Amino acid sequence: MIIGVGIDVAEIDRFDDALRRTPGMADRLFVERELWLPSGERRGMASLAARFAAKEALAKSLGAPGGLRWTDAEILTEPSGRPRLSIRGTVAVCAERLGVRGLHVSLSHDAGVASAVVIAEG
């Protein structure tokens, strides 16, 4: 059963500008592992914007409750390249309360825009 669906888009240049203007913003939005590629290189801005959109989409799929911490949701990359959501803390409590048993995420970026869709399944 689908409990919720969330979608979000982020303009990549605008997101980049916001990170540059606001020191520490990346640390409030992402856990350390999200900022780096498996190769050890810094993750590109399009990829970070897509991950931010995924966190927004996740919140929407849960009904957009207040009090969720950005770093309580992490977008991991499986060896195949497929994105996967890992939740803990405030996000896990909210998901459990709603009866969420699984989360599905899809990320994309093209033409200066990053997007994400999250499906919360019960």
Please give the annotated binding residues for Mg(2+), written as ranges. Answer: 8, 56
DSSP 72-95: GEEEEE-TTS-EEEEE-HHHHHHH
Binding residue ranges: 8, 56
Structure tokens, 52: 């931010």
Q: Tell me phi and psi for residue 64, to 5 degrees.
A: 55, 50
Helix (H) or strand (E) holding 28: helix 25-29
Helix (H) or strand (E) holding 68: none
Q: Tell me phi and psi for residue 57, to 5 degrees.
A: -65, -40
